[in-house]
Amino acid sequence: MSEATDLLALLQRPLEPTFLPKDDGKTVIDLPDEFLTDRYRPIGAELQSRFSNDAEQRIPVRQGAMPDLSFADGIDRRGAFSLFIPKHRDAAAALINLFIEQPDVPSLMSVGAYCRDRLNAVLFQYSMAVAVQHREDTKNVNIPSVVSLFPDQFVDPAVFPKLREEGAVVQQENRMVIDIPPNFTASDREDEQRMAYFREDIGVNMHHWHWHLVYPGDGPDAVVRKDRRGELFFYMHSQLIARYNSARFCAKLKKVRHLTNYREPIVEGYFPKMVRSSNNRSYPARAANISLQDIDRIDNGTIVSVSDLERWRDRIHEAIDQGFVLDKEGNRIALDEVRGIDILGDVLEASSLTPNMQLYGSLHNMGHNVISYIHDPDYRYLEDYGVMGDVTTAMRDPIFYRWHGMIDGIFRRHKDLLTPYTAQQLGNPGVTVSSVGVQLSRPNTPANVLLTFWQRSQVDLAAGLDFGPQGNVFASFTHLQHAPFAFRVEVNNESGAVRKGTLRIWLAPKADERGTVLSFREQRQYFIEMDTSTVTLNPGMNTIVRRSDQSSVTIPYERTFRAIGTKSVPTNADQLAQFRFCGCGWPQHMLIPKGAPEGVQFDLFAMVTDYEDDSVEQELDPNAPCNDAHSFCGLRDKKYPDRRAMGYPFDRRAADTVRTLDDFVSPNANMKTATIQVKFNNTVIART
């Protein structure tokens, strides 16, 4: 592992030359002179001796073949890099392939060290991270938090001069924490600013980046072709929209209006107030009431028209209505109830797994591009893409949710054509859920009331401050948080024998922004998954308690915001296991909607299904780290651990006679609901 962890030194301070010290000045990478760039090769000996005298660790890089990097021609080292731009995706796929095909870790270190100073920093970081996570000999190396490497993608740039000043002037033990102001992109005159705490949350945006890191759309087939990948693309993004709409109702805002008309002006504007550290250029703003335009970008070869988007959308609609897609040879691939949603996910994204790129195009990715270049569609003003062009920043813009709402609507068009679940598919004979509720972890608190508030936390940004101070440099930020709580479910096993089941817990708003009670047809679109777990049911009554921090959707703060560098790596074996490959998952602090000071009512739903109908045949290590966010991220190197459709039982329409949630639940003894309240306390509490 020591050789493998040496790779982490390549990921630090991405824009600094590789020969500069890493790990707070304690580690130096010894490069062959031939690996130095043209600028530094003439003075290589002086540089290497000057920066390595005080190093505690030296990482030797062996002389190896210097690969042809022409696949990245035209992608400036200090320019922007986007996974939505075809040329950039192709370059990333080639680089991932180059890293994965290296025969051993020293060879990977050698090729990586050569590439690092010659390629775009984000392209290198992304490709190396994907390769490290998918190689057998490196997959247990932790990938550092992207916010610590590229803080410019997440943080108000006004804090960077303060951080550098503090780090340059003050010794490490006396440095102050620099505060990142919350909600800095607009005033309260803009209604959408009520959702800034969600859209601009660092953990939310890091989740989106890390999910696309685990599920890249292009690259070696073995890396892209993961179990039910297309379906997970649908489900994860669908849950983002459901969570966002639930939060909007709490803020007295109406549900997201899907971007179904590509010709009408987009009424919402967004001014990101962010600067790319690579070239010190700001992310362009998107003014209100601008219409989408045809894109002809000579800088990176992105050419797409609005009519392309419309044509691809219409062809996908036609395929859904006909019940099949056509592959490149004209063969029909059925969109059935088992594989249909998975195939549609590959088509809509579109990943390299799409069966017919020529016919169905790349609706999701190119839509991101058309929106992200709305301010400069033909490169007239030499401007780069806006925040919608980058997976680390896209969720900041209100238009992300309108665009993905439209994408989700296409998926639901397919789902709504499926036959409603039968009583047999929903039931679990012999199992009765008697009650479900929530309870705060503090004593003497009322049942079925949850509490949210603001919390101030800290993140170490030193590893991303290129040419900045050594040592830790902390910034504090304010985010939503909830008081710890537990789900409590009473289940009666009437079969007389021990049985296994799957406990599924969901939450949905009872009413919209006006307080109008939602029908079941409307409400099922807003159910958010809270937890899914395997339970053992003894004969008779069973009490199941699941803490909020055990959710199958989330990862804890310590993993969302884990730092980089030698000091941050745990030494305890169990803690170290949790530190690795653990960045994928919804942030725990955003598990429940914000609520409101007066309280917002939600329907809590619990269901126990038969494990025999849910289980997937595969060997699982019960002690494997980071399986706790499998609902959004799956299991590493394994099949998705639930045979049911993602979103079950709310992914399909119900019979016309089902008008309310009670109508849906009452025929099924293995289901139960309760009404809970989420109360928001407008106070800020520092993380201890």
Residues annotated as catalytic are: 349
Q: State the DSSP code for 555.
A: E
Q: And the tokens for 216?
A: 């890249």
Which positions ≥6 away from 538 have C-beta within 8 Å?
Answer: 493, 498
**φ, ψ of residue 197 in degrees (nearest 5):** -60, -30
Q: State the DSSP code for 190.
A: S
Q: Going by DSSP bridges, is the β-strand pair 586-587/600-610 parallel, antiparallel, or unpaired?
A: unpaired
Q: And the tokens for 615?
A: 């289980």
Query: What is the C-alpha separation between 413 and 111, in angstroms, rounded?
Result: 47
* Per-residue buried b or exposed e for 440-464, using 16+ beta carbons within 10 Å of the residue's own CB: beeeeeeebbbbbbbbbbbbbbbbb
- 365, 371, 375, 378: CA torsion to nearest 10: 40
Query: What is the C-alpha separation between 511 and 245, in angstroms, rounded?
Result: 11
The rounded Cα 126 to chain-centroid distance in angstroms is 14
Q: Residues, the chain, total?
A: 688
SS3 track for 221-284? HHHHCCCCHHHHHHHHHHHHHHHHHHHHHHCCCCCCCCCCCCCCCECCCECCCCEECCCCEECC
Contact 608, 560 (CB under 8 A): no
Residue 364: closest CA among 421, 325, 316: 316
* Per-residue buried b or exposed e for 69-85, using 16+ beta carbons within 10 Å of the residue's own CB: bebbeebebebbbbbbb
The rounded Cα 103 to chain-centroid distance in angstroms is 31
Q: Which helix (H) or strand (E) holds 171?
A: none
